[in-house]
Amino acid sequence: MGRSAEDRRAERERQILEAAVRAFSRQGYHHCTVAQVAREAGVADGTIYLYFRGKEDLLVSAFRHVMGGILEEMDRELAPLADPIHKLRRLVEIHLEVMERDPELAAFLQLQLRQPDASIRTAITEPLRAYARRIEAVLDEGKATGVIRSDIPTRVMRRALFGTVDETVSSWLLKDRPGPLRPKAGPILDLILNGIRARGAPG
């Protein structure tokens, strides 16, 4: 069974990555030692280095691992939906659900990952772009269908949508998760779709 060795390796890798997410979100990336991640994963310090190049690679890999899961879930959930507006709504809901479901993952994505180190930001860019592309695809679909305005660049819309959701999650986290997060999807969508201007008010 040649597969067995590969499987064991992948399993071990996952085990370490998930320990890293937990440890980083609890201690904070910079204040978390590699030894703490190892302990959390139940392996020796040196073992980490058999799977990852170093602490930074651990952070970046953990991000990719987590984002991979989220994007997969999104693709699976959005595929059956026809209406771009529905897709948009579901996308926001999933984003909020994921964060609400796993607070440590939320803290990891929302706080620990915002490292100003250039190399980290660079490494993180790609999976973030993948998420951005998902959002923009839905928006473009909406433009094509005629349900979304065509006179605002898609990128601007995407930034507004993502920025709004992101800020919402941040606030929720910093207030120590007061109540459920998912219900906020409704108002957010309403706002993004219809704007904040009162109907009948002047331009």
Partner DNA sequence: TATGAATGAGTGTTCATTCAT
Partner DNA sequence: AATGAATGAACACTCATTCAT
| Residues across the chain | 203
Q: Give residues 36-65 in contact with a copy of itself (rule: CB under 8 A).
A: none
List the one residue from 75, 101, 125, 180 that touches a copy of itself (CB under 8 A): 125
**Complex with DNA: residue 55 or 95, whichever CB lies closer:** 55
Place of tokens 């970046």: 60
Tokens of 64: 């990719």
Q: Amino acid letter at 176? A: D
Segment 34-41 long-range contacts (CB within 8 Å, at least 24 positions apart):
34/58, 41/15, 41/16
Place of tokens 């030692």: 33
Among residues 82, 97, 69, 72, the alpha carbon closest in space to that of 185 is found at 97
150 near a copy of itself (CB under 8 A): yes
CB 24 within 8 A of CB 60: no
5 near DNA (CB under 7 A): yes
Per-residue binding letters, 28-67, with DNA (x by CB under 7 A): ---xxxxx-------xxxxxxxx---xxx-----------
199 binds, among a copy of itself, DNA, none (CB under 5 to 8 A by kind): a copy of itself
As a whole number of angstroms, the distance between CA 170 and CA 44 comes to 34
Q: Which phi and psi angles does 117 have, rounded to 5°?
A: -60, 130
Task: Give me the least distance between CB of 122 and a copy of itself, in Å please.
Answer: 9
Place of tokens 């990852």: 52
Q: Amino acid letter at 201? A: A
The span of 26-34, 117-125, 133-141, 166-174 binding DNA (CB under 7 A) equals: 26-34
**Complex with a copy of itself: residue 101 or 145, whichever CB lies closer:** 145
30 near a copy of itself (CB under 8 A): yes
What are the residues binding a copy of itself (CB under 8 A)?
28-31, 85, 111-112, 114, 116-118, 121, 125, 139, 142, 146-150, 152-153, 155-157, 159-160, 162-168, 171, 174, 184, 187-188, 190-199, 201-202
What are the residues binding DNA (CB under 7 A)?
5, 8-9, 12, 31-35, 43-50, 54-56
